[in-house]
Chain A
Amino acid sequence: MKKLNQQEKRMVVIGAVLIVAIPVFTYGTTGMGRWSKSRSDLAAARQKLAGLETDETRQAGLIALVPVFEDPQPEEKQKFLFRDKLHEQLKKAGINTEPLQFVPGKKTTVAGVAYKALRIKCRGKCKFEQMLDFLANLKENPYLIGVEELRIQCDAKEPAEKRKDKEVQIDLVVSTFVRDAPERPAGANLSKNADQNSR
């Protein structure tokens, strides 16, 4: 068999390189794209997982602060659930209050879900110990977000040693989350208003 000369050998080598290079470039770029997508998917999944608390100490701290919690319901349901439970806790603590008042709050988003804060304002009189009992049990309210405002007022004219059995004036505002209903399309509102007007 005739031996190849240098030029022919070079041609064979270049041909072999091209035979290898063409599939590498063709499928390599596809593979690179797939790899890149996998990496971005992985990064996104990791980011989601990172949001999940796995540290036991932190979880314990979280549970201590929020021992019970019910997922927020739509406003028409949640506000009564919250009010009733709060009223029950006030009664249990022996605190007499004036009628509870709802006060609307701000909108907020938690993990991509929209909520709206709803506050309840109450005013009343009770002994200081009753107030402390109420505050100690308040976190057992599964609809409570937190105390927004608390004002405790003694009778400043009474000497300190005579205040023990006297009542204090309290002003309390507590909050809950209600699930924020998606906004209806503008057309739907208009048609509803039109219906009402026609009636």
Chain B
Amino acid sequence: MSKGERTLHSVIAAAKDDGRFKAVEVRKQDNVVEVLWTKSLPAENQTWTAFAAECGFATGPDGREKAPKRHSPSVVGLDSTGVGFYRVTAPALEREEMAAIVRMQAESLLPLPSDQIEVAWRTMPSTNGNVDITIAAARREYLQKFAGSVRNFKPRSILLSCEGMAKAWQSFFSERERQALLVSVDAENTQVCLVQGGLVTHAAVLAMGMADLHDRGLKGGSIKAEGLGDGSLVSAESHRQAALEAPQREEPRLRPRDDATLHNAQLTERFAQDMRTILGSFGWDESSTWPILVLSDGSDAMKSIVEALNAAGMHAKVSVPEARNLKMPTGFLAQDIYQYRVPLGLSLIALEKSSGSLDLFERIVQDEEQEKVTTAWRSVALAGAVAVTMLIVLLVTAYFTDVASAKRWSELVARPDFEAARQRQAMLKTVARHRPDVLQLLVDINAGQNDGVSLDSFQFKKGQVVMVAGQAGNMEQMWKFQANLIALTSKGIDKVEIASQAADPKTKKVKFTIQFQYKSFSRKDSVL
């Protein structure tokens, strides 16, 4: 999905967050980030394809763009619910050696065979020459399916949504810290990320969201962790297990959010215990606490959650949107930054070309590219094979057709009756060529209105011009006779000339001789 290193000035980022598809187009100019537009579509009964069309990435049924349209490059966020995070410590080594260590660690940690898992990792400096390695893992099949579903966006890269959220917090929210625990409470679940130096080093998803807390809290029921079913708290390990083993679980139903406060003390206590368990798995201890920042749009419900966490001794604070560094379109409020925090963060990562992103899709993209190349070669080879086959068939057909025709035609022309017929026809043609129609010539000569003209002699001889001698009452009658002969060009009479003319003193008539050529018989070679 990466299409070369090109400096981006604007980017479209899309993600599925809080039960909705959300997308923004962001432009960066002179260090000013400007939101050009935002789009949102309920995820229920909708697909990425429909949302891509909504965002202007219209494609036909074959996946090709209907009408190529210029639009900004895009990035897409992968929901972290299908991704497991691990954190290991290893000695600081070269990248290749580190990769081998990660591979070994991953094989021992992951609950599935390594060929079914995609792993991405990055290191953070630690103490005593060691490094902390953050490993993100997801099922390969899940990633392939996701990459297929967002294909219409033609994304330059697919990033983790939690990284987008962390980036958005760093850029557009209050309470920025070098190291903090970010809590993002959605309708169905709660995303918890450990952010160090601007990068997510650990993440987990608590299967308890605003809707669960509110609805069940009001009813006084117990909270059950999604995927476990035993009513116990969600541990980071169990979350990872659930994420990897059932990453494509049914999408959470979208329930209307309101600002109702949490009334049930038992419920909030359980939520706090879940949080504490996750924090423990992240390496949190009471002596050196990290700030816990609950991302909020400023609603009372979030404040209640923060109060509940504080009451449980976790020192949580609310982090609210700040629009200082963001140029927003008309009607786009600070609360909307919260709503679009994930795509906003993803767009910033794409614009800044952050190299440290966890890329779970690297191998999948490589495989797809390889598949494309293989398919192209296969197509060329297939076309070549078909062409060669057709050529061979053509040659064979032509060969057998020619051989059969030659045999048939040769037999035909070799038959005695054919040869006799040919001889006879050739003879008839020769005779016709040498046979002048003298009678017709005489008729033609006398056919015109030749008043006052009487002919004395007619002389036809092959190889010579035809001579006609006669008498006319006057010159005009003679010329008229000549003109009538000239008009007989279509009858084969040509080059009509008066060879001689003289007035007879006795009869007072003009004696003349006219000569002309007749067809090909006046040529020398016509003489037999």
Interface residues of A (CB under 8 A from B): 31, 34-35, 38-39, 41-42, 44-46, 48-49, 51-53, 62, 65-66, 69, 71-72, 105-106, 108, 110-111, 113, 117, 119, 132, 135-136, 138-139, 144-154, 156, 160, 163, 173, 175, 177
Knowing that A39-B406, A41-B410, A44-B410 touch, tell me 13 more A-B residue pairs with CB under 8 angstroms.
Answer: A34-B403, A35-B402, A42-B406, A51-B425, A66-B432, A66-B435, A72-B427, A105-B528, A110-B430, A138-B439, A146-B435, A163-B454, A175-B434
A151–B410 CB distance below 8 A: no
Let me know if B219 is at the binding interface, CB within 8 A.
no
B429 contact set on A, CB distance < 8 A: 53, 62
* Secondary structure type dominating chain A contacts: mixed
Q: Mark B427-452, 1 if CB is under 8 A from A, else 0.
A: 11111101111110010000000000
Beta-carbon contacts under 8 Å, B178-237 to A: none
B435–A139 CB distance below 8 A: yes
Q: Which of B57-65, B300-308, B316-324, B455-463 contacts A (4 or more CB under 8 A)?
A: B455-463
Q: Which of B334-342, B371-379, B416-424 contacts A (4 or more CB under 8 A)?
A: B416-424
Tell me the smallest distance from the CB of B499 to a CB of chain A, in Å: 16
Task: Tell me the bound Cα distance from A113 to B420 in angstroms.
Answer: 12
The answer to whether residues A65 and B432 also contact, given A45-B409, A52-B422, A151-B458 and a CB cut-off of 8 A, is yes
Tell me the smallest distance from the CB of B234 to a CB of chain A, in Å: 49
- Our pick among A62, A72, A105, A108 for the contact of B428 (Cβ within 8 Å) is A62
Let me know if B380 is at the binding interface, CB within 8 A.
no
B462–A46 CB distance below 8 A: no
- Our pick among B406, B432, B436, B454 for the contact of A45 (Cβ within 8 Å) is B406
B431 contact set on A, CB distance < 8 A: 65-66, 69, 145-146
Let me know if B296 is at the binding interface, CB within 8 A.
no
Let me know if B412 is at the binding interface, CB within 8 A.
yes
* Secondary structure type dominating chain B contacts: helix
Tell me the smallest distance from the CB of A47 to a CB of chain B, in Å: 9
- Our pick among B403, B409, B432, B439 for the contact of A46 (Cβ within 8 Å) is B409
A35–B432 CB distance below 8 A: no
B422–A111 CB distance below 8 A: yes
- Our pick among A62, A72, A148 for the contact of B528 (Cβ within 8 Å) is A148
Tell me the smallest distance from the CB of B452 to a CB of chain A, in Å: 9
Let me know if B386 is at the binding interface, CB within 8 A.
no
A152–B436 CB distance below 8 A: no
B469 contact set on A, CB distance < 8 A: 156
B409 contact set on A, CB distance < 8 A: 41-42, 45-46, 49
Tell me the smallest distance from the CB of B162 to a CB of chain A, in Å: 45
Beta-carbon contacts under 8 Å, B366-406 to A: 399, 402-403, 405-406
Tell me the smallest distance from the CB of B98 to a CB of chain A, in Å: 32
B434 contact set on A, CB distance < 8 A: 145-146, 175
B402 contact set on A, CB distance < 8 A: 35, 38-39, 42
Highest count of chain B CB atoms <10 Å: which of A53, A108, A117, A147: A147
Tell me the smallest distance from the CB of A127 to a CB of chain B, in Å: 14
A149–B435 CB distance below 8 A: no
A105 contact set on B, CB distance < 8 A: 528
A149–B406 CB distance below 8 A: no
B423–A113 CB distance below 8 A: yes
- Our pick among B405, B412, B424, B462 for the contact of A71 (Cβ within 8 Å) is B424
Interface residues on B, range: 35 or more
Task: Tell me the bound Cα distance from A175 to B58 in angstroms.
Answer: 90
A145–B528 CB distance below 8 A: yes
Task: Tell me the bound Cα distance from A163 to B409 in angstroms.
Answer: 62
B438–A69 CB distance below 8 A: no
Task: Tell me the bound Cα distance from A31 to B435 in angstroms.
Answer: 50
Q: Which residue of B lies closest to A54 (CB)?
A: B425
B459–A132 CB distance below 8 A: no
- The 23 listed contacts between A and B (C-beta, < 8 Å) are A34-B403, A38-B405, A42-B406, A45-B413, A48-B413, A62-B432, A65-B437, A66-B432, A71-B427, A110-B426, A135-B442, A136-B439, A145-B431, A145-B528, A146-B431, A147-B436, A148-B461, A148-B527, A151-B459, A151-B460, A156-B457, A156-B471, A163-B454
Task: Tell me the bound Cα distance from A139 to B432 in angstroms.
Answer: 11
Q: Which residue of A lies closest to B462 (CB)?
A: A148
A138 contact set on B, CB distance < 8 A: 439
The answer to whether residues A119 and B528 also contact, given A38-B406, A41-B406 and a CB cut-off of 8 A, is yes
The answer to whether residues A111 and B527 also contact, given A49-B413, A139-B435, A151-B459 and a CB cut-off of 8 A, is no
Tell me the smallest distance from the CB of B460 to a CB of chain A, in Å: 5
A106 contact set on B, CB distance < 8 A: 527-528
Task: Tell me the bound Cα distance from A148 to B432 in angstroms.
Answer: 13
Tell me the smallest distance from the CB of B486 to a CB of chain A, in Å: 22
A152 contact set on B, CB distance < 8 A: 457-459
B412 contact set on A, CB distance < 8 A: 45, 49
B406 contact set on A, CB distance < 8 A: 38-39, 41-42, 45
Highest count of chain B CB atoms <10 Å: which of A34, A44, A66: A66
The answer to whether residues A31 and B399 also contact, given A42-B409, A52-B421, A148-B527 and a CB cut-off of 8 A, is yes
Tell me the smallest distance from the CB of A118 to a CB of chain B, in Å: 9
A150 contact set on B, CB distance < 8 A: 438, 458-461
A45 contact set on B, CB distance < 8 A: 406, 409-410, 412-413
Q: Which residue of A lies closest to B504 (CB)?
A: A156
Tell me the smallest distance from the CB of B79 to a CB of chain A, in Å: 43
Q: Which residue of B lies closest to A131 (CB)?
A: B442
Tell me the smallest distance from the CB of A136 to a CB of chain B, in Å: 6
